[in-house]
Structure 1
Amino acid sequence: MEKRKRIRKFSRVIIPYLIAELEMEINNKKKRIWSRQWLLRRQHGASATIIKELENEDTKEYRLFLRMNLEQFSAILENISAVIAKSDTIMRDSIPAKIKLQITLTYLATGNNYRTLQHLFRVSKSAISRFIPEVLDAVYSYLKEYIKVPANQEEWKVIENGFRIRWNFPGCCGVIDGKHVAIQAPGHCGSEFWNYKGTNSIVLMAIVNHDYCFSYINTGATGRNSDGGIFRNCSIYHELENGGILPDGGLLDEESHYQFQEDVMKLKRMFFCAGGENADGKCVEL
């Protein structure tokens, strides 16, 4: 009995003291920041300042900033807004679809990292990292009909005519090149992505027309592959090998001043013929 009385006596003294200490610790505990205050002042970000000024005062710089003019931007925004827009909540307003698209286009045009975009647009980098893939998927779904290989010789002739008139380059049906896009290699991949430049990459191989627009895109090949090896595995290679898709005169002759490896691009019908054809049917060098 004496032991229990002693425990009750000490409990009446210790428990209030422990409760007071716990309350003090809770009150002094630093509150977690839900969002930085300067990020909430989005009206001072690039969308409402510099981009708005370029839109109203300098359309040329606007196009250089976003790589498209206002009409093109508005058309894309109108068609993808319903997909990328989110609802406002009682906690905060959602990021407008317009700002999401502007950030995505700036990212594609400049390659700036997420922290730089965060400072420029006053949108957190964690949010940027989440919505950029969503916006890209929406843009792809909307534009997939615009990036396609010409389906017949008539469409190729339109491109050839563009090179002839705009660039004085008769017989050219497109320009092809590859680009190594640096990446952080996946684990346990060995040298699969290692390229001759000493970095890990995937390769973008594309064909563009006379107006800098893509006619064909192939991406995803690992950096260790050569340009020729990648081209040989492209879907368009087999169509070119079989012939018939390019208009007459759209040739690549092995004797022309474009030096391609014979085992890589041994095509008789390809993209370039700089000076037309001579009596023997071979390309004439300029």
Structure 2
Amino acid sequence: MNNVQRNALIALLYYRIRPRRRFWVHQIRRLRVNNGDYHRLVQELRLDDDLFQRYFRLNQAEFDDLLTRVGPRIARLNTSFREAIIPAERLAICQRYLATGDSFMTISFSYRVASCTVAGIVGDVSWAIWDCLVEEFMPVPTKQDWRDMAEGFLQRWNFPNCLGSIDGKHVVIQAPPNSGSLYHNYKGTFSIVLLAVVDADSIPGHRCRWLWTEQ
């Protein structure tokens, strides 16, 4: 038996013994439109803006505004096999992950979609949010912007010739496999450090301009 025949035999045996998929979409997930969190819980939360904001870390106006910005980018076409998840539901899944850090598996059960679908949605929607908001919220400063920032630090904080304030935050993560103490911090947790530079308006209750971030 030559190599070609052996490979063909292996492929045939694998095809015969591999487990057959019992169904295309699990019966529980077929009830997503009736019982999934977006179609039931999220719609109920719209009756209470405080609860809505605690769930998504965005109020309804902010959520809807974000949806109008990224909706066309994250919309998908229906196919002959299944209906696509609507943009509002895709944004809700991504925002729930960003707000809580829950596992993809936990979100997949509550929204009644596959965990691999959750993973794809989080990645796609996160990039769409970045692409749609970066020019407005993190634009490249002009010379006049730099002058205004320096004037802001002088007037508000009496700190001359300052263009930005630097601070860092430990974003808690699960330790990656075989990483040892690489991500271990002095607080006793595992984290990635987010380092950011903001302008003079970065005080509680005020909207600040993010100038630069690095992980």
Q: Structures share a fold, TM > 0.5? A: yes
Q: Which has the larger radius of gyration?
A: 1
- Name 1:215's counterpart in structure 2: 209
Percent identity of equivalent pairs: 30
Partner of 2:127: 137
SS at match of 2:76: coil
Instruction: String of CA shifts for 1:4-46, please: whole Å, max 9, x gaps.
Output: xxxxxxxxxxxxxxxxxxxxxx9xx865232211112122222
2:55 is matched with which residue: 59, 62, 65?
Answer: 65
Report SS of the residue matched to 1:68: coil
1:32 aligned residue: 22
1:113 aligns with 2:103: yes
Question: Which aligned runs of 4 or more in structure 1 are off by greater than 4 angstroms?
Answer: 155-161, 170-176, 189-192
Q: How many Å separate the matches in 1 of 2:208 and 2:106?
A: 28
Contact 1:77–1:97 (CA under 8 A) maintained in structure 2: yes
* Counterparts in 2 of 1:141 and 1:160: CA distance versus 1, 3 Å: farther
SS at match of 1:145: helix
Q: Which amino acid aligns with 1:36?
A: H
- Whether 2:40 is the aligned partner of 1:49: answer yes
Give distance in 2, aligned partners of 1:35 and 1:106.
23
Give the Cα separation in 2 of the matches to 1:72 and 1:159: 29
Provide the rounded CA distance (Å) in 2 between the counterparts of 1:35 and 1:58.
33
**Could you say which structure has the higher helix fraction?**
2
Answer whether contact 1:206 1:215 (CA < 8 A) is retained: no
Structure 1 pair 65–200 and aligned structure 2 pair: CA distance change class (3 A): closer
1:88 match: 78
Count of residues paired in the alignment? 184
Structure 1 segments unaligned to the other structure (5+ residues): 1-25, 165-169, 221-286
Native 8 Å contact 1:45 1:121 kept in 2: yes
**Letter paired with 1:117:** I
- Is residue 93–residue 121 contact of structure 2 (8 Å, CA) maintained in 1? no
TM-score (normalised: structure 1): 0.54
Tell me the equivalent position of 2:136. 146
Q: 1:73 to 1:171 in 2, by over 3 A?
A: farther
When the two chains are superposed, the root-mean-square deviation of aligned CA atoms in Å is 3.2
1:1-286 aligned at under 5 Å gives the runs 31-43=21-33, 44-55=35-46, 57-148=47-138, 151-154=145-148, 171=158, 176-181=166-171, 182-185=173-176, 191-207=181-197, 209-210=202-203, 211=205, 213=207, 215-216=209-210, 217-220=212-215
Any unmatched runs of 5+ in structure 2?
1-15
- Normalised to the residue count of structure 2, the TM-score between the two structures is 0.70
